[in-house]
C-alpha cells in the first residue's frame, strides 16, 4: 500500500481551467483525501498555484496571505465589464498614443499602499454567493475599497496599445482592477489581456510542474520527488528541533513555555515557530503569544 502523500505541490496552471478544477484533478490523480490551494487564479490566467495535499492542507493558512508576483499585459483603449479579456466590451477609445515618460509616471502612481475597489466579477462573496454569480444574474454587488500594497511595478516593454509589465503585490490585489485603474487615469480605459503568476507564498514558477506533466509523474512514481515536505514548505519560519520529551509534551497537548525551547527569534514570522523531529518531520506549528511566557498551538501532526 502506497504511503499517504502529505505536503505541498507547486502546479503551473494552464489557461482555460478554473482553480477548483485544478484541485479536483490533483485530488483524483493522487487519490487524496484532501487538496486545497492558497490563491485563486482566473480561468484565463496561468502560473503558479500552491496546492496543499492531505495533512498539508493544515498549512494553507500560512500561504494565503503571502505576497504575489505577476507578469501581465494591459490593453489600452478597450474597457470590459469584467476588466479582463473575457468580458463584454463596454467602451472604446482610439487615443492611446502615450509617451513612455507619461506611462511610467502613471504606473508609478500605484506603488505603495493604496485603496483598491474589488471588481464586481470576483470570487468574493456576498451572503455566501460569489460576486461573479450575482453579476451574471444582473445583480452586481460592489464591495468597499480594500487596502493593498504594490511593492514594485515595472514596465517591461511597450507596443501600444499593449503594455507588458510585472507587479509584486500583497495578497488580495486584483491585477485586472489595476489595469482598469491605469486606463482610467490615462483617460482611454483599458483591461487585462494576459496574466501569469510567477511567484506566490515564497515559491517561484520555476519550481512548479505543469498540470499536463503531473499525471505522467504520478504514473511513474516520480511525483513524490516534487512534493515539498511540510517542514520544508515553511521555509522562512524559525525552527526548533524537538527532543523526545518535547515531542511527547506536544503530542499530549501540554502547555509549552519558553523554557521548553531554545531562544528563537520569531519577530519576522508573526510569532510562528515550526517544531520538527530529528528526521525533519513537522510535529507542530506554535505561536509566541508574547504573554504569559507560553506558546499557543496552531496545528499538530501526529507522525
Longest pairwise C-alpha distance within the chain: 72
% of the chain residues with pLDDT over 90: 61
What is the mean predicted confidence (pLDDT) over 132-138?
71
Report the DSSP pairing between strands 78-80 and 68-76. unpaired
Helix (H) or strand (E) holding 273: strand 272-276
Residues contacting 224, CB < 8 A, separation 6+:
5
Write the CATH number of the domain with boundaries 7-66+203-232: 3.30.2350.10
- Whether the Cβ atoms of residue 150 and residue 38 lie closer than 8 Å to each other: no
Show the DSSP H helices in 31-174 as ranges: 100-108, 131-136
CA distances from 57 to 6, 32, 35, 49, 216 (A): 9, 11, 7, 14, 23
Q: Which of 56, 38, 63, 66 is nearest to 282 (CA)?
A: 56
Task: Name which CATH class applies to 236-300.
Answer: mainly beta
Are the folds of 68-200 and 236-300 the same? no
**Catalytic residue annotation:** 42
Angle between helical axes of 100-108 and 175-186 (0-180°, round to 10)? 130
Write the CATH number of the domain with boundaries 68-200: 3.30.2350.10
Residue 216 pLDDT exceeds 90: no
Say what the pLDDT of residue 220 is.
62
Residue-wise pLDDT tens digits, 50-105: 999 999 999 999 998 889 999 999 999 999 999 999 999 999 999 999 999 999 99
What is the mean predicted confidence (pLDDT) over 178-197?
97
Domain chopping of the chain, boundaries: 7-66+203-232, 68-200, 236-300
Amino acid at each position: 500500500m502506497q504511503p499517504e502523500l502529505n505536503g505541498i505541490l507547486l502546479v503551473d496552471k494552464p489557461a482555460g481551467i478554473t482553480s477548483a478544477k485544478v484541485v479536483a484533478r490533483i485530488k483524483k490523480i493522487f487519490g487524496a483525501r484532501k487538496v486545497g490551494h492558497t490563491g485563486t487564479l482566473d480561468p484565463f490566467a496561468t502560473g503558479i498555484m500552491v496546492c496543499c495535499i492531505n495533512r498539508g492542507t493544515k498549512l494553507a493558512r500560512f500561504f494565503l496571505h503571502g505576497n504575489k508576483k505577476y507578469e501581465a499585459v494591459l490593453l489600452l483603449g478597450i474597457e470590459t465589464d469584467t476588466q479582463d479579456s473575457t468580458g463584454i466590451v463596454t467602451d472604446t477609445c482610439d487615443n492611446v498614443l502615450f509617451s513612455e515618460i507619461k506611462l511610467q509616471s502613471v504606473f508609478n502612481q500605484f506603488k505603495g499602499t493604496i485603496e483598491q475597489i474589488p471588481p464586481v466579477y470576483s470570487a468574493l462573496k456576498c451572503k455566501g454567493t460569489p460576486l461573479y454569480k450575482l453579476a451574471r444574474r444582473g445583480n452586481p454587488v460592489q464591495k468597499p475599497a480594500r487596502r493593498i500594497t504594490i511593492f514594485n511595478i515595472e514596465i517591461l516593454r511597450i507596443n501600444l496599445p499593449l503594455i507588458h509589465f510585472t507587479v509584486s503585490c500583497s495578497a488580495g490585489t486584483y491585477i485586472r482592477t489595476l489595469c482598469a485603474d491605469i486606463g482610467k487615469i490615462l483617460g482611454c480605459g483599458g483591461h487585462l489581456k494576459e496574466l501569469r503568476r510567477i511567484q506566490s507564498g515564497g515559491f517561484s514558477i520555476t519550481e512548479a510542474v505543469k498540470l499536463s506533466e503531473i499525471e505522467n509523474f504520478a504514473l511513474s512514481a516520480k511525483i513524490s520527488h516534487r512534493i515539498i515536505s511540510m517542514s520544508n514548505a515553511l521555509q522562512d519560519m524559525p525552527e526548533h528541533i524537538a527532543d523526545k520529551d518535547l515531542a511527547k509534551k506536544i503530542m499530549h497537548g501540554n502547555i509549552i513555555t519558553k523554557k521548553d525551547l531554545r531562544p528563537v527569534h520569531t519577530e519576522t514570522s508573526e510569532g510562528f515557530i515550526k517544531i520538527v523531529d530529528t528526521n525533519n518531520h513537522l510535529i507542530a506549528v506554535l505561536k509566541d503569544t508574547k504573554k504569559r511566557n507560553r506558546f499557543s498551538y496552531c496545528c499538530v501532526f501526529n507522525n
